[in-house]
Amino acid sequence: MTTSSLAGSLLLEGKVVVVSGVGPGLGRSIAVRCALAGADIVLAARTEARLREVAAEIAEHGRKAVTVTTDITDEESATHLAETALSEFGRVDALVNNAFAMPPMADLADADFEQMRASMETNVLAALRLTNLFTPALIASRGSVVMINSAVLRHSRRPYGAYKMTKAALLSIAQSLSTELGPQGVRVNTVAPGYIWADTLQAYFAHLAKGRGVSAQQVYDETAADIDLRKLPEPDEIADAVVFLASDLARAITGHCLDVNGGEFHH
């Protein structure tokens, strides 16, 4: 879907969307694509300069963006985010839990427990904390929550054990919250991206290519050969799935995990 067609659809017109973990990749795309669909946005991340950049981009599209420098692992900071969102807009229609801390990439027998605890705090417990804080507002708006997960759910490759552990826990939370909050009109869904063709992955492919003495395009083509659509999903393509789940088009969908991986895995 092009930028113009998404803006014309206004799937989120009149809604307020809170996005955690706003960075230069997927977090930015989620925020901007929600704005293009008609929403005003509350942006949360630890880096203030990054928040300002995304807010300025959203303003260019004619939507309002409020920035809140937030450490979602800190209860006081997370509470301030929820209070600010409501004081600025008076309502919240969707919460997108996108914040992420990389778990240790090692076999579980060798993974550092302190690093695992830290990643669980951000990837799982902080997402639950934010959801709990926003639940009264979401009940009032009959809104929704979207958890950003990962295709790691679909495999058990080494050394992704700790990564899968956090994401499997996040999926379990989303499913349980769907059951708990559904009777009050709140939907809770999950988006599970595969590869995300953005700065971090592009730099990694360039690194692999240099080590092998081949082009980055060759590394890309080899990777894409195992994906049905023969291309790696881009941030906007994943963000559009978030827009759909946050919109009224998905009003009968809850407890669902939507894979956005170009057909790399089938579930």
Hey, what are 215's tokens?
A: 């082009």
List the catalytic residues.
Answer: 163
Contact 233, 194 (CB under 8 A): yes
Domains of the chain: 3-196+234-260 (3.40.50.720), 197-232 (no CATH)
Count of alpha carbons within 13 Å of 201, Cβ hemisphere only?
15
Looking at residue 1, its pLDDT comes to: 45
Q: Where are the beta strands (DSSP E) in the chain?
A: 16-20, 40-45, 65-69, 94-97, 144-148, 187-193, 257-260
126 in Cβ contact with 150 (< 8 Å): no
For the record, the structure tokens of 88 come out as 């600025």
Phi and psi torsions of 190, nearest 5°: -130, 140
49 HSE (CA, 13 A, CB side): 0
**Does residue 159 have a cis peptide bond before it, meaning omega lies within 30 degrees of 0?**
yes
Return the SS3 of 40.
strand
Cβ-contact 97, 146 below 8 angstroms: yes
CA distance 169 to 127: 11
Collapsing DSSP to helix, strand or coil, 14 comes out as coil
Is 260:243 a contact under the CB 8 Å cutoff?
Answer: no
Q: What span, in angstroms and rounded, lies between the C-alpha atoms of 23 and 12?
A: 22
Question: What DSSP state is assigned to residue 69?
Answer: E
pLDDT at 6: 54
- Residue 92 three-state SS: coil
- Burial class (CB within 10 angstroms; exposed 0-12, middle 13-18, buried 19+) of 140: middle
Q: Is 17 in contact with 42 (CB distance < 8 Å)? A: yes
Q: Which amino acid is at 114?
A: E
- In the prediction, which pLDDT does 24 show? 87
Question: What residues of the chain score a pLDDT lower than 50?
Answer: 1, 4, 7
C-alpha distance across the termini of the chain, in Å: 24
| pTM, entire model | 0.95
